[in-house]
């Protein structure tokens, strides 16, 4: 491609048909709505976290079945870890300055994606570990009383659904990281 060809291409690129200018009031409204949605999202996540923690403490105090305690304990631990990590990422994301040089912001975004990948990795490993312990619990209970724990089986079903979801999320984050690293 010589300079003349490139200049033609630049002319073609810049001759895009005009479109109506942006409505900044609408953008401001949209931004406010996004902020509100983010605030409600964080509030809801906090509420869920606190409810599960309270439920877990209650289950411990009332000596609930071991499977229930285990289930809630896992939920609490996993939820708390994700809550902290996700919110740390959100804060970092909000701190990325829009006016910095692109190479710096690209590095920051790649870092966020690496953190996301670590989160999905952690989720997959924790879920596998949880499934393993759950299977052991079910087997021990079955060997001792010949009764299959319905709660335990339900837990395994949830795990079976969660694992592929985490894997798909991880794969997508990898794809985005690849796009940003090209």
Please give the DSSP secondary-structure letter assigned to residue 80: H
CB of 110 to another protein, least distance (A): 9
- Mapping DSSP onto H, E and C, the string for 78-101 reads HHHHHHHHHHHHHHHHHHCCCCCC
Residue 123, judged by CB atoms within 10 A of its CB (0-12, 13-18, 19+), counts as: buried
Q: Is the dihedral of CA 26, 28, 33, 38 positive or negative?
A: positive
3-state secondary structure of 1: coil
Our CB check for another protein shows the closer of 6 and 77 to be 6
CB of 123 to another protein, least distance (A): 17
Q: Could you list the residues that contact another protein (CB under 8 A)? A: 1, 6, 9-10, 12-19, 21-22, 24, 26-28, 30-31, 93, 96-106, 109, 112-113, 172, 175-176, 179-180, 182
Our CB check for another protein shows the closer of 72 and 112 to be 112
Our CB check for another protein shows the closer of 27 and 154 to be 27
CB of 20 to another protein, least distance (A): 9
CB of 50 to another protein, least distance (A): 28
Cα distance between residue 96 and residue 104, in whole Å: 9
């Amino acid at each position: 491609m010589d300079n003349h060809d490139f200049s033609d291409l630049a002319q073609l690129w810049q001759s895009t048909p005009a479109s109506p200018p942006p409505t900044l009031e609408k953008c401001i409204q949209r931004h406010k709505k996004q902020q509100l949605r983010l605030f409600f999202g964080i509030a809801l996540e906090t509420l869920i976290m606190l409810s599960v923690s309270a439920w877990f403490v209650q289950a411990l105090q009332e000596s609930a079945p071991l499977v229930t305690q285990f289930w809630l304990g896992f939920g609490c631990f996993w939820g708390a870890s994700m809550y902290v990590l996700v919110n740390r990422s959100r804060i970092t994301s909000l701190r990325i300055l829009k006016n910095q040089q692109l190479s710096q912001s690209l590095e920051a975004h790649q870092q966020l994606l690496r953190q996301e990948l670590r989160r999905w990795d952690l989720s997959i490993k924790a879920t596998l570990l949880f499934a393993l312990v759950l299977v052991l619990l079910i087997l021990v209970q079955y060997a001792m009383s010949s009764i299959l724990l319905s709660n335990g089986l339900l837990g395994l079903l949830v795990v079976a659904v969660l694992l592929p979801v985490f894997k798909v999320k991880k794969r997508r984050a990898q794809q985005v990281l690849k796009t940003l690293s090209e």
